[in-house]
Structure 1
Amino acid sequence: MRERGLMQEEAEASQVFTPEMIDTMARIWTRSIITLIDVRFQNIASQYPLEQYKMPSSMFIYACGGEAQIQLNETTFGMERFGLVHGGKGSLLSISPKREIVKTFMVFYKAESPLFFKKHLQQLLEQVNPFVQQFGYTPSNPILLLDWFQQMLNDWNRGKAMDQLQAKSFLYQLIHGVYRDFEGGEIRYLQPIPASSAKIYLDKHYREPIMFQDIAAMFGISGGQLTRLFKKKEGMSLQEYLIQRRIEAACHDLKYTEATIKEIATGSGFADEKNLFRMFKKYYKMTPSDYRKINALSMQVDGIDNDSHLHYNERELANLVKSYRDGESSMFGQVRSKEMIFVAAMSLMLLLTACTSGTPANNRGTVNPPAETQQTTQPEVPETKASEAVSQTRTISTVKGDVEVPNNPQRVVVDYLVGDVVALGVTPLGVARATRGETEAVYSNQIKDSINIKMEPEDVMTLEPDLIILAWGEENYEDLSKISPTIYVPYGDMTTEERIHFIGDVLNKPEEAEAVLNTYANKIEEAKLALQNAGLSDVTITMGEFSDKINAIAGAKHAVGELIYNELQMQAPSKVQTDIIDADKYWGEISMEVLAAYMGDYLISLGDTEVPADNAVWKSLPAVQHNRIVTVGSSLSWSTDIMTSSALIDHIVNQLLALAK
């Protein structure tokens, strides 16, 4: 968690420095002893990038002349033509030009506290430490800064005391110019590159539990957006890359340590021994134990002569992932030839074992039972659909890549968007996250025979599904996709129309999807007409969760906000529009003291929290005084499927019409 917190801080390089922060930092610079250690210049070419340079002191780095990626620790920034970056001692710096040579100035300095200011400075440094602060931005006057850095370099290289004093004066001019830029607020901060930063994070933390949504949150984007950006850049999903890194670690430990399979699984980042076993079966077509035996034999054969041998990474992992066909990624290079090598090696090992032990060799070390004693249990499939379901498939393009699904799935498991599936005429075999109360009542009759399960691979496996539709637990995607075709729906990044068409394609129900959307569109138009006839089309609406201290005001990204502001096209108060909706926020946290400025003619109270009825500010609100409050329970306010949205429209519109009378 500490490492994740550090990365969160680094990803916030686009922060806005407040006047108070700037004043504090200026005081610290003024009262500190600054030693200019060195000034350097280097042309960095794309074929010879600067990689993982450990900064020996605090540094200003000024890069100019071309597009480049600048990496500080675990955060990668994108620079177009000019970029000024600052980092503290021990930070890892990388600069990778895209095409042209990038000119790079580096200023090394050290800061110390004088004895008579030490206590006071320490108090200020606890608020903000400008000497270790990490940031990157494009200066407001990049040519002026280029001139300063060039003069600083020239003066420093002359080597005379007066010249180096002049160089130090340019350092102070630089610091003053940077803080003036911050103060003006018209600068463009270098934005972190999510895909590159996520890869760096996974490389460092792959042995730990990983939540992709947490990584995405560091950059203020959704998990689906991060997945698409990562796949576009790396040619594979986040999950695939994470598994690759963990398998690399497991392979190394299997070859070069005496650790148990369980210890290796845990040490490599896998949830348990079974998970490691499944990964090896999928990618190596054998168990971890078999892999260990084969490589032990291979190492013995290699040891017969005295020739030099390739390092592990050169022989085993140099081409772990290769792109083929239309960008599809294959792990471990040419799988077919690899399998042939493994089979040959296994045969040799077993032959040697048979020769030395005198016992019959068996691929699994067990004796197969007579044919008449073997029984195979097949899942029941309705006879009228069996041949069609097994023999016919379609390919669906998703954010996780192309997925082959049954033409007419019979055993569908859904985790969140149950109402979408039911609306298209499909009764799920299993459902998860089906809430009680209002939401379940929307489609309770349709799912009364569905099995309610946790969306864990072990539970899903017991249902033997032929299709899984996943919208919530993205971290389970890889494990679930090994059970049956799994479709991930990034519902937060899709409109209702896009989502229904997509799920309609998955279920082979395009006509049903069109009919459902037409019905939904008609409902919205009827609701808008009813509101207009009641004189409510121009009123302002505020929605949120209200309490005595902090009020969470919902924007248009919230499920109810999307419906009210975008679909029913009702108006938001000007403060809600500018501070929350235009800022593309899901919520805006507002204190009770300023709540009145965000209030509309009507309130929609979301969730099951109690409205602060005895609060003086609350009681002074016109909407409260005139009882213009619509309540929406959490079971309706947190759901986004089309059946629940339809019920939500009826619920809100009926209450608004009743209040208007």
Structure 2
Amino acid sequence: MKKLLLSILLLLLITVSACSNNDNEKESNSTDKADETITYESEDGPVEVPANPQRIVVLSTYAGDVLKLGGNIVGADSWSIENPNFSEGLADAEEVSDESLEKIIELDPDLIIGLSTIKNVDKLKEIAPTVTFTYGKVDYLNQHIEIGKLLNKEKEATEWVNDFEQRAEKLGEEIKAKIGEDATVSVIEDYDKQLYVFGNNWGRGTEILYQAMELKMPEKVKEMALKDGYYALSLEVLPEYAGDYMILSRNNGSDPSYLESDTYKNIPAVQNGHVFEVEQRSFYFNDATTLEFQLDFFEEKFLQD
């Protein structure tokens, strides 16, 4: 009986020891994984970044790309925080800017991402590895792949890009079949008491409409907005820039008085019910999350009965 009890006790000790070793090994592996780094070839040269970043701060533009790839954002710029498309992904994120250095330090980020125009880059680099991108240096889809490389998720980013291109091209063919190959589309925005029209690479869905779907741009828009990406205009000349279809990006708090003007009401797209209004904050960017929203919006509006 004593031998049996001793055997059972020995077995229990062995089991407990094995479990403890396994737990220690798991903890060690987890720690090692968290400490792993990769080298990202940025515009400014190689940067050593975490292979599996856990606390990311995004200071401009790229929050939707990071969220699409499953990144955990602990701090983001005000434009991203206010974007309805990001509300779930940024629910626990703090609003920060390139000047709120103390707040960023408190967030203890292991990676900081932003546009090349942000301030205090050298100081930010002292807080965590910091990578910036020049807007438009690569096209909107390759930009997502670059974010994928930075987050060590190039494969996932590339797969999304390939799939998105196919879906956008297919939808473009369906839209052209319905509205006609020669129908023109313009993207108009009212912002701070000013009207703007956009070219083919300034967010607001322009990349999808003009690049992916190859829908036609009004000649006047092509002349004035294609090079710089956007062009400010007055209400009086708006009819010259209006396409057969208009995407109207509006802020809910903006002055709607121009919508009641004869100039606006006499635009053919308005008279034909071909104006598709969208909430401005959700339409600004051309990141992967926003592109998905824009593609769904175009499918709903252009193909509606």
Q: TM-score range by the shorter chain?
A: 0.7 to 0.9
- Name the CA shift for 1:598/1:404 in 2 (closer, same or farther; >3 Å): same
Q: Which residue of 1 aligns with 2:245?
A: 602
Paired with 2:128 and 2:202, the residues of 1 have a C-alpha distance of 32
Q: 1:261-272 counterparts in 2 under 5 A?
A: none
The 3-state SS of whatever aligns with 2:171 is helix
Match of 1:589 among 213, 220, 232: 232
In the aligned structure 2, how far is the partner of 1:383 from the partner of 1:538? 62
Q: Name the SS of the counterpart of 1:559 in structure 2.
A: coil
Partner of 2:288: 642
Of 481, 493, 503, the residue aligned with 2:147 is 503
Q: Choose which of 39, 54, 57 in structure 2 pairs with 1:395.
A: 39
Q: Does 1:651 align with 2:297?
A: yes
Shift of 1:459: 1.0
Q: What's the counterpart of residue 75 of structure 2?
A: 430
Taking the aligned partners of 2:117 and 2:224, their CA distance within structure 1 comes to 31
Q: 1:437 to 1:503 in 2, by over 3 A?
A: closer
Residue 408 in 1 paired to residue 52 in 2?
Answer: yes
Q: What is the alpha-carbon distance in structure 2 between the residues aligned to residue 637 and residue 630 of structure 1?
A: 12
Paired position in structure 2 for 1:198: none
- Matches of 1:536 and 1:650, distance apart in 2: 20
Q: 1:579 to 1:410 in 2, by over 3 A?
A: closer
| Count, aligned residues | 270
Deviation at 1:575, TM superposition (A): 1.4
Name which structure has the greater RCO, CA cutoff 8 Å, separation 6+: 2
Map of 1:614 onto structure 2: 260
Task: Give a deviation string over 1:464-510, Cα, whole Å, max 9, x none.
Answer: 22211223762132111001111112233321222122111111112
Deviation of 1:463 (Å) = 2.0
Counterparts of 1:309-458 in structure 2, within 5 Å, are 384-390=29-35, 392-416=36-60, 417-433=62-78, 434-436=80-82, 438-441=84-87, 444=88, 446-448=89-91, 450-455=92-97, 456-458=100-102
**8 Å Cα contact 1:453/1:460 also seen in 2:** no
Q: Tell me the amino acid that sits aligned with residue 198 of structure 2.
A: A
Cα gap change, 1:626 to 1:590, in 2 (>3 Å): same
Identity %: 27
* In 1: Cα distance, 2:221 partner to 2:117 partner: 31
Structure 2 letter corresponding to 1:574? E
Please tell me whether the aligned partners of residues 542 and 572 of structure 1 are also in contact (alpha carbons under 8 angstroms). yes
- State the alpha-carbon separation in 2 of the partners of residues 475 and 499 from structure 1: 21
AA at the equivalent of 1:493: K
- TM-score normalised to structure 2 length: 0.79
Q: State the alpha-carbon separation in 1 of the partners of residues 189 and 141 from structure 2.
A: 28
State yes or no: 1:524 paired with 2:172: no
Aligned partners of 1:412 and 1:429 also within 8 Å: yes
* 1: CA distance, partners of 2:119 / 2:221: 34
SS in 1 for 2:72: coil
Question: Which stretches of structure 1, 4 residues or longer, exceed 4 Å deviation after superposition?
Answer: none
Query: Is the 1:471–1:489 Cα contact (8 Å) retained in structure 2?
Result: yes
Structure 1 distance, partners of 2:200, 2:218, is 12
Pair 406,440 (structure 1): closer, same or farther in 2 beyond 3 Å? closer
Q: Letter of the 1:517 partner, please give it.
A: V
AA aligned to 1:425 is: G
Structure 2's unaligned 5+ residue stretches are 1-26
Q: 1:474 to 1:400 in 2, by over 3 A?
A: farther
Residues 320-363 of structure 1, C-alpha deviations (whole Å, 9 max, x = no match): xxxxxxxxxxxxxxxxxxxxxxxxxxxxxxxxxxxxxxxxxxxx
Task: Say if 1:500 and 1:592 are closer, same or farther in 2 by CA, change over 3 A.
Answer: closer
Q: Shift of the alpha carbon at 1:546? A: 5.0
1:203-225 CA-to-partner distances (Å, cap 9, x unmatched) read xxxxxxxxxxxxxxxxxxxxxxx
Structure 1 residues 639 and 579, CA gap change in structure 2 (3 angstroms): closer
1:180-259 equivalences under 5 Å are none
CA contact (8 A) 1:435 1:635 kept: no
Which residue identity does 1:453 align to in structure 2? Answer: E
2:267 is the alignment partner of 1:624: no
TM-score (normalised: structure 1)? 0.38
Letter in 2 for 1:573: P
Per-residue Cα deviation, 1:193-240 (whole angstroms, up to 9, x for no partner): xxxxxxxxxxxxxxxxxxxxxxxxxxxxxxxxxxxxxxxxxxxxxxxx
Name the aligned partner's letter for residue 57 of structure 2: V
Q: Following superposition of structure 1 onto structure 2, how do residues 9-24 of structure 1 map, counting pairs within 5 Å?
A: none
1:477 aligned partner = 121
Q: Secondary structure at the match of 2:82?
A: coil
* 3-state SS of paired residue (1:612): helix
Asked if 1 retains the 8 angstrom alpha-carbon contact of 2:53 and 2:71, the reply is no
* Residue of structure 1 in register with 2:8 after alignment: none
**Is residue 2:107 matched to residue 1:463?**
yes
Residues 190, 250 of structure 2: 8 Å contact kept:
no
Aligned-pair CA distance for 1:572: 0.9
| Contact 2:58/2:76, CA 8 A, preserved across alignment | yes
Is 2:65–2:287's contact at 8 Å kept on the other side of the alignment?
A: yes
In structure 2, how many angstroms separate the alpha carbons of the residues matched to 1:545 and 1:510?
34
> Quick check: 1:555 aligned with 2:208?
no
Cα separation, partners in 2 of 1:385 and 1:566, compared to 1, 3 Å = same
Q: Which has the larger radius of gyration?
A: 1
